[in-house]
Amino acid sequence: MDIEQEAANIVEAHPDEIIGFNQANLYEGKYKQGDFLAPYKNIAYARKKLQLNPAGVTDLKLTGEYYKSLFLTVNKKTFTIQSNDPKDARLTGLYGEDIKGISDADKVEFGNTVVRPGIVDYIKRETGCK
């Protein structure tokens, strides 16, 4: 049995859930660790964005293309959220790499609801237990 590899396989099979955590944090105006992103500097743009997100936070979402561009890469021990949007370099330059990723609480939730049950099923399959 290779539990580490199976855990990586489970994570790789559920990218939408992990990306969804990242998108939800961004929409709330938060970095992966929960700190708020800096407010928009352009007042006119901030007013326009307030109509799109009444929370009035910096959410990095105008057309939704950046959110749609997020994808997951997985290796045996880690996963990384990346973007193939042309704006990514500019946004990470302004706000830092921590706009991509999920919080420790999100990791615990994902582990408890997705990875743990998947590992239990894997062990049962590999050992023939029911």
Residues 6 or more apart in contact with residue 122 via CB below 8 angstroms: 1, 3, 6
pTM of the model: 0.92
What pLDDT sits at residue 76? 84
pLDDT digits (tens, 9 = 90+) for 29-76: 999 999 999 999 999 999 999 999 999 999 999 999 999 999 999 988
Q: 98-122: b or e for each residue (b if 16 or more CB lie within 10 Å)? A: ebbbbbeebbeebbeebbeebbeeb
C-alpha neighbours within 13 Å on the C-beta side of residue 103: 16
* Phi/psi of residue 18, nearest 5 degrees: -70, -45
Whole-number mean pLDDT of the chain?
95
Three-class SS of residue 58? coil
pLDDT per residue over 67-78, tens digit each? 999 999 998 889
